[in-house]
Structure 1
Amino acid sequence: MNLDNNLDKYAELAVKVGVNIQPNQTLLVRSPIECAPFVRKVVKHAYKNGAKNVHIEWSDEECSLIKYLDAPDEAFSEFPSWVSDQYVKIAEEGGAFLTVSAQNPDLLKNVDPKRIADYQKISGNALKEWRSYMLTDKCKWSIVSIPTEAWAMKVFPNLEAKDAINKLWDAIFKCTRVDTKDPIKAWDEHNSNLKEKMDFLNNKNFKLLKFKSNKTDLVLELPKDHIWLSGASKDPNGVLFNANIPTEEIFCMPHKFKVNGVVYSTKPLVYGGNVIDNFSITFKDGKIIDFSAEKGFDTLKNLISTDEGSHYLGEVALVPYNSPISETGITFFNTLYDENASCHLAIGSAYKSCIKNGDSIKEDELDKYGVNDSLTHVDFMIGSQDMDIIGETYDNKEIQIFKSGDWAF
């Protein structure tokens, strides 16, 4: 009974705070079939809050695995245009998108990495127009996660499946504030706290940030007229939404050509159904010039080789080490959670909302402003308990932003 009640509160949170559905708005929900009980509650709350129509796009990991193992090579060189056309049409009409992320981190570990890389490129290109709506906040979108057996057993391998799922539910309810008396009010307060940090960074207008830990040593410059954003964004009608539930980050874009140094991962990265772990990346003039990985080297190589833009960064995000997610002590093997437990960077496209008048910058002028463009956008975690971050202003003043992994102000 308690689980069902929390599940209902979680669905309401996804609808009211995540995509913040409005009267007569269309909602597209993308979800694994294992998460059907949660999706049904989302549909109920969406209609209760005035949605005009709710469309469901189901997926099944086992079918995806069968395709990767048994389908002909031609299957990975095309993407159904009716899918991308549908997404764009819904975005054009002001619809919202909710994605339920519950991937088995090891799903594709025995699949030819080339097949995965090929399909990532094809799908990335096919969905580029739709993704542009999200990168510029022209549509409302949100991501939430639901425990599945495969994911829960990866996180808690020493437990029985049922116990692992229940323990993961407990962690999710804590991290999303669903375990509070009034989750929606808790999120209003949380978004206000994030805004305070966002306003501080924007008021200081830093020229560059220096990241320093036991391993990481990176200097990252920011474009002129950059804008720091927090978890809550606004669509073209000024309606707030939270793209990630949970979220603990304040984020911006690095200057495409002004990142130098080396960073080390502090949490595993799940990409393309494979785990990349204990890796480092070296930058010179913004470009990745070297990398290593104890696990998942080929997967990391394929990610970086997606296109020209995947050799550069598109996001820098600040997350305190003492965030609720980090304090669970859990490695979630799910980027939505792990990125909100740690400062992180993203390989690939920048959010154009992170620079003044970003949505009006033409594609052939992006380099001029230091804005990266790519078919991909993949976050990886670099924050640690010993991470210090120094901001340098345009008048050469240095201000401590992070001290020993946490906000210094």
Structure 2
Amino acid sequence: MSFETKLEKYARLIVQSGLNVQEKQTVVISASIESYQLVRAVTKQAYLVGAKEVVVHYSDEEVTRMKYENMEVEDFNHVPTWFSSFRNDYALMNACFLYVDDEDPEMLAGIEPKKISNWQRAVKKACKTYFDLSDNMTNAWCIVGGATQKWANKVYPDMSNQEALDSLWNAIFKAAKIDDEHDPVELWNQHRRSFEKRVNYLNSLNLKKLYYKNSKGTEITIGLNDDYLFAGGGSYLKNGVYNFPNIPTE
């Protein structure tokens, strides 16, 4: 199976199972510029299932790095209105949000930690509506893997650039259950049923505590909260739509 075919199947899985895009729903995608092939494939699949609009927010790691190197610590306390409005407004429109996790693991190595923490704290405050609607299961969101050169070189340091990139994509496809023979959406439906079977079994036990012991002498007892529920895999939104917030997930 060619790379293009695998990418198309991956994109269809993301749209139909990861986000479970509904007709006339807006899809917001955040990704680096290196992931344009995946973004285009997802965009195509989203429109095929009836999405109203697909909005893409690209980032450039080198530009981001230069920003952190050159701006002052206090500058990261301010979130531009366009940025918060972008997230909050689309959240209020019941958009679904896709995040392609493709960053270079060393992108911000050596950057003043205060700059990073200031920005994260400021964004959390300015985009409260966006975060609240994601946390309370109103908006669907999904995080997926995308292969980029620096990440591939980190994982496969002894390979050439192209070999490393191909290997990382193949690892991502394998983890996402993309293969020659099967429909990935149906495979993930089976994955869902497997999760639900185990979750239902664990909840039926009415456990009060978990006890762990090993041959090294460790003994740990963890008490469970009242009215707890085991959960795993995907989840239901408030409107009853089921989606997988992470692909892959175990």
Tell me the TM-score normalized by structure 2.
0.92
Amino acid at match of 1:229: A
TM-superposed deviation, 1:109: 1.2
- Aligned-partner Cα distance in 1 for 2:193–2:71: 49
Amino acid at match of 2:153: M
Amino acid at match of 2:190: E
Amino acid at match of 1:232: G
Residue 183 in structure 1 maps to residue 184 in structure 2:
yes
- Aligned-partner Cα distance in 1 for 2:34–2:213: 42
Query: Can you list the C-alpha shifts for 1:47-99, whole angstroms capped at 9, x where unaligned?
Result: 11000111111111111110111112332111223322332222222211111
Query: Can you list the C-alpha shifts for 1:162-215, whole angstroms capped at 9, x where unaligned?
Result: 111111111111110012521111111111001111111222233333445559
Query: Can you list the C-alpha shifts for 1:301-355, whole angstroms capped at 9, x where unaligned?
Result: xxxxxxxxxxxxxxxxxxxxxxxxxxxxxxxxxxxxxxxxxxxxxxxxxxxxxxx
Q: What does 1:78-157 align with in structure 2 at a 5 Å threshold?
A: 78-157=78-157
Residue 247 in structure 1 maps to residue 249 in structure 2:
yes
Q: What does 1:142-291 align with in structure 2 at a 5 Å threshold?
A: 142-179=142-179, 180-212=181-213, 218-248=220-250
TM-superposed deviation, 1:217: 5.7
Amino acid at match of 1:92: L
The number of equivalent residue pairs is: 248
Q: What does 1:51-62 align with in structure 2 at a 5 Å threshold?
A: 51-62=51-62
Amino acid at match of 2:40: R
TM-superposed deviation, 1:221: 3.2
Amino acid at match of 1:189: Q
The structure-2 alpha-carbon separation of the partners of 1:123 and 1:197, relative to structure 1 and needing over 3 Å to count, comes to same
TM-superposed deviation, 1:119: 1.9
Greater percentage in strand = 1
Query: Can you list the C-alpha shifts for 1:262-302, whole angstroms capped at 9, x where unaligned?
Result: xxxxxxxxxxxxxxxxxxxxxxxxxxxxxxxxxxxxxxxxx
Unmatched 5+ residue regions in structure 1? 249-409
Give SS of 2:57's match.
strand
Alignment-derived partner of residue 76 in structure 1: 76
CA contact 2:73–2:114 (8 Å) conserved in 1? no
The structure-2 alpha-carbon separation of the partners of 1:68 and 1:218, relative to structure 1 and needing over 3 Å to count, comes to farther
Query: Can you list the C-alpha shifts for 1:91-128, whole angstroms capped at 9, x where unaligned?
Result: 22221111111111111112112222222222233333
- Aligned-partner Cα distance in 2 for 1:55–1:147: 21
TM-superposed deviation, 1:238: 0.9
The structure-2 alpha-carbon separation of the partners of 1:206 and 1:128, relative to structure 1 and needing over 3 Å to count, comes to farther
The structure-2 alpha-carbon separation of the partners of 1:206 and 1:164, relative to structure 1 and needing over 3 Å to count, comes to same
- Aligned-partner Cα distance in 2 for 1:152–1:123: 29
CA RMSD, 1 decimal: 1.9
- Aligned-partner Cα distance in 1 for 2:211–2:86: 43
Amino acid at match of 1:193: S
- Aligned-partner Cα distance in 1 for 2:3–2:10: 10
Greater percentage in helix = 2
Query: Can you list the C-alpha shifts for 1:246-266, whole angstroms capped at 9, x where unaligned?
Result: 011xxxxxxxxxxxxxxxxxx
Unmatched 5+ residue regions in structure 2? none
TM-superposed deviation, 1:139: 1.2
The structure-2 alpha-carbon separation of the partners of 1:210 and 1:150, relative to structure 1 and needing over 3 Å to count, comes to farther
- Aligned-partner Cα distance in 1 for 2:248–2:165: 18
Alignment-derived partner of residue 380 in structure 1: none
CA contact 2:149–2:165 (8 Å) conserved in 1? yes
